[in-house]
């Protein structure tokens, strides 16, 4: 919209103008609004001058061309801290005497003559006055003067004489409106009104200040002309044909809108959309919303369009039938920064690089053969855990902390042949690093969703991200250096024993050989290792923690499980991974834990193309949240859905690997969890070892533990599981 802001408060008093209010700008635009009948759309365009320029202005500066702007030269934008109130700012062309702008003031950009104002130093009117209408009215005024002369000669003239009308209407140099002309030409009624307006003008002028020159009289009456023309324009809009056109336009808009069938959506707030509905724990809040709005809902998280799937049927359609449309993951500020600009595997877009890394993952690190080779590593770390708890016999222990240390060591040794907890300080540092990374990647960061927060660090996110990545980078650089030194030595001295290849060696081989279709960079390697730490440590440890908590709260189930182990393994040796296939009840307990407490509660994807799901149109680049937590608790598919009942898995052969869409603890399809086998091995064997070796008493003599969920990407417990391990089989523990 055009706007005018000038130095009105500093106008010369000598101006022979009608008295004005102090805030002329305000009164001017106010008046225009009144004229247009309060109808915003029919407001007279007003030009904006920049407030910042005020210091440079002189009171009498008629800015002429520099005050005008074409619509294209004004952009409505928002600036930092300018919530909800758009500001007009200068576009690169604004204020320059652009050939487009000059001479087109108050004219339709289409019909402008293009004549410049340069060199018109003698313009009497202030810059904010509409120019084109003045030219029009000057011509009109000449006609009035002629008519008055004739009247004085006694000829007399009818007010609406055809002669005057002709003179005004057919004079090509005369336009009859102060507004963009195009519309007026198509609307003859305004033309007929002009003589009446002119008569009013002359009468008013005569009554007021007879000593004024015709030009000055016009200045005083220009507002009257404008008011009447605006009234006429407003009436024009109410003609049957205008109304019909308006109706047709509305129907077209409605048809366009309704041609897209979008999933139901709760009422959104301005700017934040539905972000406020995700508190306090997103998967729980979304499950509640889906109960009200259905299994597929649409949300706007700030400016990001999202859908949430909460039923097995919709999930199947999304991740099986239309899998190819949902193979990407969305990028967030945190994942992008922590993974050296999305150079990792978990957040990499589905493409050549991701496929290559998936092969590396499945054929090297997580292949059956590799997992068998690394079985002693897992077994050793589980024994270390049992020994550590045995040392704390009878004392209160934070079980979660012990479990995270164990799973960190397993992953760390598999990836880079190094234990994280060799010294207590480093173990704590790595644990903290992994937890912080999981927290930062799982949190809803406002700058990802609200555009004007993009460069603001309202939640102190960036500072923490930088800190975490710096620490991780330092650790990884040290470990990579050590590996490279070992590799150099082994190459130089062939006699020296062959180094045992961990995942880092395999990745360095690929990077150095450079024979693969994908060239691995140092950043790729570091980001991939971070992925495996974050995806593979907390998830397994927290699953064991939830399982133990459930067993403490269900002593009869615990007793059955212990009996099963005792009867198959006996009391003389520690349970092994190889025993697990013979412990179906233990397996059922782990599955039931993963059903109620999936440590990946939501699978997050992004659509790569437009598609139709459950009859709704889903545009490309829509973020998808599959609420695994809600699906695993769907009462239609699960009897006593909220009860911890491992028996349900004994009667049914339900697999965890994404074949059954009402039970998806590891996701499904091509982007399903590649660590499922490893996770099951670690979780089942660790839980079996714990309940074989210890009884767990709850702190403070209580009979049950709290089961509240905390916030975080890996479904942590709200309160750490603190209990007192009491040794059960001293013969095993003394080994
Ligand atoms: C109980 C333990 C675990 C659970 C509950 C779990 C769950 C999940 C879930 C739900 C996903 C998303 C799947 C999807 O979008 O469909 C996922 C992805 C992933 N998980 Fe796991 N996971 C666990 C353990 C592991 C382990 C031990 C590793 C590896 C060491 C691992 C590595 C990954 C990776 C790399 C991805 C991303 C895959 C991709 O984007 O292509 N996870 N996990």
Nearest-CA residue for atom 35 of ligand 1: 346
- Residue from 673, 681, 683, 714 to probe ligand 1 pocket by mutation (most atoms less than 8 Å from CB): 673
Pure H helices in 317-398: 333-338, 352-360, 368-373, 375-391
pLDDT at 179: 35
* Bridge partners of residue 397, in order along the sequence: 723
**Tokens matching residue 465:** 């991200």
pLDDT at 516: 75
Residue 667 Cβ inside 6 Å of ligand 1? The answer reads: yes
Kindly give the distance from the C-alpha atom of residue 536 to the centroid of ligand 1, in angstroms, as a whole number.
7
pLDDT at 689: 97
Strand order in the sheet with 296-301: 296-301, 304-309, 623-627, 602-606
Residue 537 Cβ inside 6 Å of ligand 1? The answer reads: no
Kindly give the distance from the C-alpha atom of residue 584 to the centroid of ligand 1, in angstroms, as a whole number.
24
Contact predicate 465/334, CB 8 Å: yes
DSSP line for 105-131: TTS-TTT------TT-TT--S-TTS-H
Ligand 1 atom nearest to 354, measured from its CA: 41
- Strand, helix or coil for residue 418: coil
pLDDT at 450: 79
Q: In the structure, how many helices (H) and strands (E) does the chain have?
A: 26, 11
Nearest-CA residue for atom 41 of ligand 1: 671
Q: Model-level pTM?
A: 0.68
Nearest-CA residue for atom 18 of ligand 1: 673
Q: How far apart are CA 145 and CA 494, in angstroms?
A: 112
Cα-atom radius of gyration of the chain, to the nearest Å? 39
pLDDT at 58: 33
Enumerate residue ranges in the chain where pLDDT < 70: 1-137, 139-140, 152-229, 233, 237, 252-259, 420-428, 454, 457-458, 494-500, 735
> Which helix (DSSP H) or strand (DSSP E) does residue 279 occupy?
none
- The number of angstroms, rounded, from the C-alpha of 358 to the middle of its chain's C-alpha atoms is 27
Per-residue pLDDT tens for 141-176? 777 778 878 776 654 444 343 333 433 333 333 333
Nearest-CA residue for atom 40 of ligand 1: 346
pLDDT at 491: 77
Nearest-CA residue for atom 31 of ligand 1: 675
Residue 365 Cβ inside 6 Å of ligand 1? The answer reads: no
Contact predicate 235/189, CB 8 Å: yes
Kindly give the distance from the C-alpha atom of residue 673 to the centroid of ligand 1, in angstroms, as a whole number.
4
Q: How many of the other CB atoms lie within 10 Å of CB of 215? A: 14
Q: How far apart are CA 180 and CA 690, in angstroms?
A: 83
Q: How far apart are CA 704 and CA 2, in angstroms?
A: 70
Kindly give the distance from the C-alpha atom of residue 376 to the centroid of ligand 1, in angstroms, as a whole number.
23
Nearest-CA residue for atom 19 of ligand 1: 673
* Bridge partners of residue 88, in order along the sequence: 76
Q: How far apart are CA 340 and CA 719, in angstroms?
A: 33
Q: How far apart are CA 612 and CA 296, in angstroms?
A: 12
Region of residue 700 (left: phi > 0; alpha: psi -120 to 50; beta: else): left
pLDDT at 91: 38
**Do the annotations mark residue 673 as ligand-binding?**
yes
Residue 598 Cβ inside 6 Å of ligand 1? The answer reads: yes
């Amino acid at each position: 919209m055009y706007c005018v802001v000038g130095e009105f408060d500093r106008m010369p008093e000598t101006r022979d103008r009608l008295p004005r209010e102090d805030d002329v700008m305000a009164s001017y635009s106010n008046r225009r609004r009144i004229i247009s009948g309060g109808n915003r759309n029919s407001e007279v365009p007003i030009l904006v001058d920049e407030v910042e320029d005020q210091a440079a202005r002189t009171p009498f500066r008629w800015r002429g061309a520099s005050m005008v702007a074409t619509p294209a030269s004004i952009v409505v934008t928002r600036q930092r801290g300018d919530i909800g109130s758009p500001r007009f700012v200068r576009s690169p062309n604004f204020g320059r005497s652009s050939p487009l702008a000059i001479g087109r003031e108050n004219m339709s950009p289409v019909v402008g003559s293009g004549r410049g104002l340069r060199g018109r130093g003698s313009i009497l009117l202030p810059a904010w006055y509409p120019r084109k209408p003045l030219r029009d009215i000057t011509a009109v005024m000449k006609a009035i003067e002629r008519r008055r002369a004739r009247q004085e000669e006694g000829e007399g003239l009818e007010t609406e004489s055809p002669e005057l009308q002709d003179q005004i209407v057919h004079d090509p140099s005369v336009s009859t409106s102060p507004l963009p002309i195009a519309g007026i030409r198509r609307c003859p009624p305004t033309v007929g009104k002009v003589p009446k307006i002119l008569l009013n003008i002359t009468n008013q002028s005569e009554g007021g200040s007879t000593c004024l020159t015709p030009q000055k009289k016009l200045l005083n009456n220009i507002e009257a002309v404008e008011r009447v023309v605006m009234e006429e324009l407003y009436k024009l809009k109410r003609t049957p044909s205008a109304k019909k056109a308006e109706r047709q336009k509305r129907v077209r808009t409605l048809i366009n809108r309704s041609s897209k069938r979008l999933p139901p959506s709760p009422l959104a707030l301005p700017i934040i959309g539905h972000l406020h509905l995700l508190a306090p724990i997103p998967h729980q809040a979304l499950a509640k919303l889906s109960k009200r709005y259905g299994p597929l809902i649409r949300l706007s998280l700030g400016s990001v369009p999202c859908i949430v799937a909460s039923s097995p049927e919709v999930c199947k359609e999304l991740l099986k039938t239309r899998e190819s449309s949902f193979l990407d993951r969305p990028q967030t500020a945190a994942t992008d920064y922590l993974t050296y600009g999305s150079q990792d595997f978990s957040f990499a877009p589905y493409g050549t690089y991701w496929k290559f890394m998936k092969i590396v993952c499945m054929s090297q690190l997580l292949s059956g053969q590799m997992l068998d080779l690394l079985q002693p590593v897992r077994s050793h770390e589980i024994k270390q855990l049992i020994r550590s708890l045995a040392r704390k016999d009878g004392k209160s222990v934070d079980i979660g902390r012990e479990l995270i240390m164990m799973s960190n060591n397993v992953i760390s040794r598999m990836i880079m042949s190094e234990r994280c907890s060799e010294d207590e300080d480093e173990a704590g540092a790595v644990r903290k690093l992994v937890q912080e990374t999981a927290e930062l990647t799982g949190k809803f960061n406002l700058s990802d969703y609200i555009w004007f927060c993009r460069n603001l660090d309202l939640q102190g996110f960036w500072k923490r991200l930088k800190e975490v990545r710096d620490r991780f980078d330092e650790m990884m650089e040290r470990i990579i250096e050590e590996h490279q030194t070992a590799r150099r030595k082994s190459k130089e001295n062939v006699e020296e024993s062959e180094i045992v290849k961990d995942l880092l060696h395999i990745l360095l081989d690929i990077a150095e050989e450079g024979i693969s279709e994908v060239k691995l960079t140092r950043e790729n390697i570091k980001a991939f290792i971070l992925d495996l730490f974050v995806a593979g440590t907390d998830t397994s440890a927290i699953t064991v923690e939830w399982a133990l908590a459930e067993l403490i709260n269900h002593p009869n189930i615990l007793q059955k499980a212990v009996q099963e182990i005792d009867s198959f393994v006996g009391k003389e040796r520690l349970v092994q991974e190889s025993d697990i296939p013979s412990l179906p009840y233990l397996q059922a307990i782990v599955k039931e834990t993963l059903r109620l407490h999936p440590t990946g509660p939501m699978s997050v994807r992004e659509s790569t193309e437009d598609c139709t799901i459950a009859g709704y149109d889903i545009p490309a680049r829509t973020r998808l949240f599959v609420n695994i937590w809600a699906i695993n608790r769907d009462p239609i598919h699960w009897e006593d859905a909220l009860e911890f009942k491992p028996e349900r898995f004994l009667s049914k052969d339900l697999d965890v690997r994404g074949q059954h869409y009402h039970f998806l603890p590891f996701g499904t399809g091509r982007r399903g969890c590649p660590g499922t086998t490893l996770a099951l091995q670690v979780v089942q064997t660790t839980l079996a070892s714990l309940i074989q070796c210890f009884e767990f008493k709850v702190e403070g003599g209580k009979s049950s533990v709290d089961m509240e969920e905390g916030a975080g990407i890996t479904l942590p417990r709200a309160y750490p599981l603190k209990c007192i391990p009491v040794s059960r089989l001293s013969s095993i523990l003394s080994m």
